[in-house]
Amino acid sequence: MINEVHVSEPGRIVVDITAADDQTAFAFIAALAALWATTAVERMNRAPGQFGVRLRCSLDMRQRP
């Protein structure tokens, strides 16, 4: 669930990531964190019988890391 805090101002973004494995997903989040201020992973899902892993984080494009 995306709440008002996540996107309360221009420049704030919620990013949902789907990747084959944890390592790939966390590498992508690290790449985002190198460019903008990010939150820790807010949610991580693995659906039984489904391929991959899903993560959510938010970032603030107004702030540099």
Binning pLDDT at 50, 70 and 90, where does residue 3 land?
low
pTM: 0.68
Q: 24 or 1, which is more confident?
A: 24
Q: Which of 1-5, 19-23, 54-58 has the lowest mean pLDDT?
A: 1-5
- What's the structural domain count of the chain? 1
Backbone angles phi, psi at 28, to 5 degrees: -65, -45
Residue 39 domain-assigned?
yes
pLDDT surpassing 80 at residue 43: no
Mean of pLDDT values over 41-49? 75
Residue 1 domain-assigned?
no
Mean of pLDDT values over 47-65? 80
The residue segments making up the domain with residue 22 are 12-60
Spatial separation of the C-alpha atoms in residues 5 and 49, rounded to whole Å: 33
